[in-house]
């Protein structure tokens, strides 16, 4: 049984919705990213239902998956977008996304990115330092416009997640210390080309309990009340993203549970006039995608057994980077081979090139494996290391499928390079 309901076995063969995965592998080759359109819609529906009757703007954290087909799907469903670069803004505009529903996050916004976002008319800049505040005011002044700003504050809340995806502690690079926020808000209020509209917070990713959010919310509400006493009235409260997905047997936090708790606390403090902004990424796309790969060789050694596949760390770096655990499924399990413990590894010349460790399988050379829950922080983090073309991406809709990004050709990897005479 897979952890993603839109990828399931039918007659002993793993399918993406109604499409057998061997059909896609045969037609498009491997490694291959495969996304379920219905999974995207179902994930969005959970947020739509949770937000019903409330002033909530859901902005897809597109760093999780920025394929245009994915962005277009969420745009059509009514999503805004959380961006962290000028390139991501360009993608939103390419699919006709509404800039007025875009929040621009990130610690290192460059002047040209600010200019592009101001020209497009984004909803808000989530400013993360005093220096950035000054730069944004200068850019807006030169353009003769007013920049809408929110300060991203760091509440020093432990999200109880992996250190690399924890973003709300004092030692993290993100945001402004919440103790410093009132002073910096007052400073921002003095800039003629800035308009203060909100406060932003993002404490981490793959969060499965509501408590860390509520710990951060309590600190943010106190800050909002302090700012009101200083004459600074905010319009929105951005709680970031971070809701986790099921990789194995996690008990999940739902959007409804989160928003029910949030609005209950806001109402108790008479702060429910604020618009709530959420920036989910992983929870919208993580279980909507898989990475399909073929077993090239089986290597049985004294210390370890290796299944060497054609996908690698350049295709999916999460296991190497985060020690992340992804479920692995045999697409057509035959069961006639000997069951052994295998490390699933790729062909890249790095000892860190592994996708899964110590998994029990009865494997045969040439069979297909599916790396599950690979819709978030997967293709977007892929590279061309070892001059390996990045995988194709396929979107499945019931029994139909479409290439939404073709596999790169070898020639395209160095077509723009030149040699010295």
Catalytic residues: 349
- Identify the H or E element spanning 314: none
Query: Is 329 a known ligand-binding residue?
Result: no
Structure tokens belonging to residue 65: 């998956």
Alpha helix (H) residue ranges in 162-241: 181-190, 211-229
How far is the C-alpha of 332 from the C-alpha of 337, rounded, in Å?
13
Q: What count of other Cβ atoms lies within 10 Å of the Cβ of residue 6? A: 23
Residue positions counted in the chain: 421
Residue 185: helix, strand or coil by DSSP? helix
Cα–Cα nearest to 356, from 304, 382, 319, 305: 319
From the number of C-beta atoms within 10 Å of its C-beta (0-12, 13-18, 19+), residue 13 rates as middle
Cα–Cα nearest to 31, from 333, 343, 388, 351: 388
Query: Is 247 a known ligand-binding residue?
Result: no
Query: Is 333 a known ligand-binding residue?
Result: no
Dihedral sign, Cα of residue 78, residue 84, residue 85, residue 88: negative
Query: Is 319 a known ligand-binding residue?
Result: no
Residue 367: helix, strand or coil by DSSP? coil
Residue 390: helix, strand or coil by DSSP? coil
How far is the C-alpha of 405 from the C-alpha of 71, rounded, in Å?
13
Query: Is 405 a known ligand-binding residue?
Result: no
Query: Is 231 a known ligand-binding residue?
Result: no
Q: How many CA atoms lie within 13 A of 85 on its CB side?
A: 6
Residue 129: helix, strand or coil by DSSP? coil
Residues linked to residue 138 through DSSP beta bridges, in sequence order: none
Query: Is 280 a known ligand-binding residue?
Result: yes
- Per the listing, tokens 């209020």 go with 189
- Per the listing, tokens 């999460």 go with 318
Query: Is 389 a known ligand-binding residue?
Result: no
**269 contacts: CB under 8 Å, gap ≥ 6:** 221, 225
Structure tokens belonging to residue 192: 């003629």
Q: What count of other Cβ atoms lies within 10 Å of the Cβ of residue 164? A: 12
Query: Is 318 a known ligand-binding residue?
Result: yes
Structure tokens belonging to residue 141: 């002044």
At 152, phi and psi to the nearest 5?
-85, 115
Binding residues for pyridoxal 5'-phosphate: 242, 279-282, 377
Binding residues for substrate: 282, 318, 322, 350, 377
Binding residues: 242, 279-282, 318, 322, 350, 377
């Amino acid at each position: 049984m897979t952890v993603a309901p839109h990828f399931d076995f039918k007659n002993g063969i793993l399918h993406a919705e109604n499409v057998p995965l061997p059909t896609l592998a045969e037609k498009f080759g491997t490694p291959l990213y495969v996304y379920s359109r219905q999974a995207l819609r179902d994930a969005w529906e959970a947020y739509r239902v949770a937000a019903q009757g409330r002033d909530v703007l859901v902005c897809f954290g597109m760093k999780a998956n920025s394929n245009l087909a994915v962005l277009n799907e969420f745009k059509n469903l009514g999503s805004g977008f959380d961006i962290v670069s000028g390139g991501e803004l360009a993608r939103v505009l390419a699919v006709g996304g509404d800039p007025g529903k875009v929040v621009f996050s990130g610690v290192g916004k460059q002047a040209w990115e600010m200019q592009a976002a101001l020209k497009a008319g984004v909803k808000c800049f989530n400013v993360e330092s005093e220096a950035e505040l000054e730069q944004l005011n200068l850019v807006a002044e030169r353009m003769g416009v007013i920049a809408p700003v929110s300060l991203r504050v760091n509440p020093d809340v432990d999200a109880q997640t992996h250190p690399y995806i924890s973003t709300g502690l004092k030692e993290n690079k993100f945001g402004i210390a919440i103790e410093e926020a009132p002073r910096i808000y007052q400073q921002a209020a003095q800039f003629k080309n800035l308009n203060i509209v909100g406060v932003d917070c993002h404490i981490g990713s793959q969060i499965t309990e509501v408590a860390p959010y509520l710990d951060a919310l309590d600190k943010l509400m106190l800050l909002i009340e302090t700012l009101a006493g200083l004459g600074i009235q905010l319009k929105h409260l951005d709680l970031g993203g971070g809701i986790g997905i099921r990789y194995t047997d996690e008990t999940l936090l739902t959007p409804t549970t989160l928003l029910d708790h949030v609005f209950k606390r806001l109402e108790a403090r008479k702060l429910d006039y604020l618009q709530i902004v959420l920036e989910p990424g992983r929870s919208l796309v993580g279980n909507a995608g898989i990475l399909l790969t073929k077993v090239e060789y089986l290597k049985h050694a004294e210390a370890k057994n290796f299944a060497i596949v054609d996908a690698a760390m350049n295709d999916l770096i999460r296991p190497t980077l985060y020690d992340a655990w992804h479920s692995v499924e045999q697409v057509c399990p035959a069961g006639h081979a000997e069951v052994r413990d295998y490390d699933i590894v790729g062909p890249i010349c790095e000892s860190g090139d592994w996708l899964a460790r110590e998994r029990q399988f009865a494997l045969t050379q040439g069979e297909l494996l599916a790396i599950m829950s690979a819709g978030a922080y997967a293709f977007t983090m892929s590279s061309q290391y070892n001059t390996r073309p990045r995988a194709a991406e396929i979107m499945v809709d019931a029994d139909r499928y479409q290439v939404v990004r073709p596999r790169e050709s070898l020639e395209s990897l160095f077509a723009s390079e030149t040699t010295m005479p």
